[in-house]
Structure 1
């Protein structure tokens, strides 16, 4: 019985393997997409229907132009403006006089603002997929595409992850044309240029690269174009796909490009000679090249007074060190360097840890892993309960762990301060890098004490000194040192003193503003004297 069952299974497998799979059929049909359109309307319709087989949302609306010439209108339901098609396309062509029906120019004279000619079946497929209807007529080997794409889209809102007290409240959406218009609204110069390409075998996602001509280095543009052009993948669903394909050092924990949802941040980086990459279907844009200090600069730093911006920036750098080193320092001191702690504090800490069965390293790992789990759970839960669960969970679990004698109260306090410090980092991907590096530094501190922390810091600094972002040193302008660009690194200098824009991959136009704009009566008298 078992042998007979095996024989029957072999017959079934051999029979199914001889059949042509649907994927193979699709590949064969995709070859016809490279052909030119035929003079025969029926052949064009048959080819397109075979390509769009089992696609009931693709509509083929056949009609007569002026009651004499056969034509077809092809569109995808839900992606095109049906009201405009009925009013400005079908009604105009059907009611056309017979003597003008044979003239191909009637298609180009339709009352539609954006009309383009298509000659290949692949061009027809691309236009239909983007929501633009295509009109084909008999006895003509070309058609026209109508700019009547319309689909549901999200309204412009303030990005929740990059909110500001003072500043613009608009943010990018998932619609590429809306994102381009938001940048055009802020930068009205015709020097704002762009080029686009479609990436993804199946998704055909449109990717647009925007830059300011005269400010960007041409070598940077060529490098970005080369890196985008060599991407060959099934689909691009988010800008994170692009980010992983174009970064210089993929195994580095530190991000080498910047992502943002704010048009003002993208515009400010364009004015500094950087490049902005927009991806259709996501509100997150990619900015390149960047430096390490770009990750700790927020948009609001430049909208508040420069003294406040400088103070907040110093706090961020302090919180960076706390988020990276505080648990490791606590573990190293309690394990190897108790003489560094004042006697009163040491007695208090020792008293709180006298019933803890784990060493300081294991205790720190337990609390850090628990805190990361609570943070991740708070992100994934619905907004209505996410914050409540994360806060209440942290309080309840922390208190229960202390009462059960699993961790000490000082360790709970250290982990809480570390978590708060990590939230002060304005870029989420930079905060993730700090959270990742915290664990190996803790292992080094628990193994060889403060020496392990020093070795870990040296390793991180050496790594940061060796990586680049599209040819720009990651620690620039501090390493290598460029004194005139240090005004926007450790401090936020006033706007009237930021006369030069940062020099990235080339010289470009480095003058950001005119000289002699410092406010004050003496400066005004000097300007009047220069005018006279």
Structure 2
């Protein structure tokens, strides 16, 4: 962002520069901060359009008020109480009575005295151009400018409204931590630092978005994360050229390996414990300011079926829950299509009493099985979306009551059969069991494709669709890692935390493909259970 300096101010600036004899006078460019305080303030006000939320406060300091200063901050993003206590009060009152001798002032000059001695703040950055000035100002920092000095100070006194740490709304657990990420980047990084107190935990931050200048950070364990994967993440983030980043979904879509696939290749989570566990495995977390959802790469197919609670319960309980998720995956994907195929083409597969019962139920239904299934599936999808968009107080009741009323009314009207209502209800319940919402959406999309294949080719169409889906899954990569690992390629050592979960004392190594360097866990020397 370059400053557009009006002609009158340029002439005034040239006159002032020719008259100025102080030791900091030098040739200025349009982007540099000028020595004259009034000129700087006029330029800032014009560039920001005299916005009402940009507050400017001019004042004098020094024993006799010989020093002219100004602070600039953005209301709503800056802690005004801290500005009063740590800047104005110090410079306007206490600095006059401070024990600072004239020799110290002469040797350091006022700028160095204020920077090194006067301001009791933790973060202080020197700025010399308007581009950095605008960035810090619009990020919530307080800008301090001193008359006669062609540079300023950015004082970190951010203080915007924060939702705070609350329980995650989309990824709840029965047993486990209840804290979740918020929309503030520094709060989110602190939640991870709190769990991983390792000096090798690296945090790298950059700004992405020409207009928004959104802070995007990556966190990983140096020596554990694959260096090539870290370099690939940095490279993809550096290539992003976009006006705005408003949510981590922007980043996810711009850096994913495969665009035309229904399956997600980047995992997102709002749980600090899940992200910390992924970092300890050797994966990389991408945090975006302004959203509670953190991206995790690389993300494999098995990761979307794993929940944090799997590791907080006993190994046998965690294994049972995982097996239920894989069973629910196939039921949610294939239940309607299997019903369509059997009732349309393969009636001989059903026992005679069940076949007679189904035939009696469908006697008055005027539509084929495919149309019947499409009506019920689309109705349920509409009810599900309506329940999500409605106010929380009535959203859940509307979706539940709506499904019961519409289902019962459709059966009584003879539009659908009772068996189809049961099949759709089982399918809907199974689609809610996945810890990752993105995988649930993928199954919802593929379900309609399998229904069409079943209505066209019967069970042969379903088998053909499964073969094509498996081939597609094996062709996917997530930051260079095979998407179906450790199943394809098959890695025997990684099966201990795949479909089944062995006890913690048996989880002695990290996943081989994700981590190629430090594959041994430090805590693997924990004693095994006593044996008789």
Q: Is contact 1:33-1:122 (8 Å) kept? A: no
1:490-526 per-residue CA deviation (whole Å, 9 max, x = no partner) reads 101111011111023551100013347321146xxxx
**Residue 361 of structure 1 contacts residue 442 of structure 1 at CA under 8 Å; is this kept in 2?**
yes
Counterpart in the other structure of 2:239:
230
Partner of 1:60: 56
Do residues 242 (structure 1) and 266 (structure 2) align? no
Other structure's SS at 1:304 match: coil
Compared CA separation, residues 505 and 165, structure 1 to 2 (3 A): closer
The answer for the alignment partner of 1:419 in structure 2 is 428
Moved more, 272-281 or 97-106: 97-106
- Distance across 1 between alignment mates of 2:135 and 2:371: 57
> Where does residue 83 of structure 1 map in the other structure?
81
Q: Separation in 2 of the partners of 1:201 and 1:307?
A: 50
Aligned residue in 1 for 2:227: 218
Alignment-derived partner of residue 517 in structure 1: 527
> Secondary structure at the residue paired with 1:259?
strand
- Whether 2:187 is the aligned partner of 1:191: answer no
SS of 2:245's partner is coil
CA deviation map 1:45-95 (0-9, x unaligned): 122111111411101111112211221101001111111211221122123
**Structure 1 residues 271-280 or 29-38, which shifts more?**
29-38
| Contact 1:216/1:275 (<8 A) preserved | yes
What residue is the counterpart of 2:396 in the other structure? 387
Partner SS, residue 56 of structure 1: coil
- Contact 2:224–2:515, Cα closer than 8 Å, also in 1: no
- CA–CA distance in structure 1, aligned partners of residues 485 and 5 of structure 2: 48
- The equivalent residue for 1:282 is 291
Question: Residues of 2 paired with 1:218 and 1:416: CA distance?
Answer: 46
Asked if the contact 1:107–1:144 (Cα under 8 Å) also holds between the matched residues in 2, the reply is no
Q: Report the CA distance between 1:180 and its aligned residue.
A: 0.7
State whether residues 33 and 120 of structure 1, in contact with CA within 8 Å, keep that contact through their aligned partners in structure 2: no
Q: 1:464 touches 1:475 (CA, 8 Å); kept in 2?
A: yes
Write the deviation string for residues 240-289 of structure 1: whole angstroms up to 9, x where unpaired: 01000000001111110110000000000000000001000100000000
Residue 105 of structure 1 is matched in structure 2 by 112
User: Where does 1:42-57 land on structure 2 (aligned, <5 Å)?
Assistant: 42-57=38-53
Q: Which runs of 5+ in 1 are unaligned?
A: 1-25, 523-532
In 1: Cα distance, 2:526 partner to 2:77 partner: 54
Cα distance in structure 2, aligned partners of 1:408 and 1:305: 42
1:36 and 2:32 aligned? yes
Query: Aligned partners of 1:236, 1:514: CA distance in 2, in Å?
Result: 40
Q: 1:54 to 1:255 in 2, by over 3 A?
A: same
Distance 1:146 1:157, change over 3 A: same
Partner of 2:189: 180
Contact in 1 for aligned 2:35/2:149 (Cα 8 Å): yes
Residue 107 of structure 1, CA deviation = 2.3
TM-score by length of 1: 0.91
Aligned to 1:293: 302
In the alignment, the residues of structure 2 paired with residue 443 and residue 175 of structure 1 have an alpha-carbon distance, to the nearest angstrom, of 45
Deviation at 1:147, TM superposition (A): 1.2
Q: Is the 8 A contact 2:2 2:131 kept in 1?
A: no
> Residues 192 and 213 of structure 1 are in contact (CA less than 8 Å); yes or no, is this contact kept in structure 2?
yes
**Alpha-carbon deviations, 1:356-415, whole Å to 9, x = none?**
000000000000000100011111111110110000000000000001110000000000
Partners of 1:33 and 1:85 lie apart in 2 by 30
CA RMSD of aligned residues (A): 1.8
| Length, aligned pairs only | 497
Aligned counterparts of 1:514 and 1:59: Cα–Cα separation in 2:
56
| Aligned-residue offset at 1:463 | 0.4
Matched, 1:127 2:127: no
Separation (CA, whole Å) in 1 of partners of 2:334 and 2:509:
35
Secondary structure class of the residue paired with 1:317: helix
Look up the SS of the partner of 2:69 in the other structure: strand
Match of 1:529 in 2: none
Question: 2: distance between equivalents of 1:334 and 1:28?
Answer: 72
Q: Which moved more, 1:38-47 or 1:278-287?
A: 38-47
Q: CA deviation at 1:28?
A: 7.3
Equivalent position SS for 2:91: helix
SS in 2 for 1:514: helix
Distance 1:475 1:339 in 2: 36
What is the distance in 2 between the residues matched to 1:84 and 1:313?
50
Aligned equivalent of 1:8 = none
d(CA) in 2 for partners of 1:392 and 1:235? 40
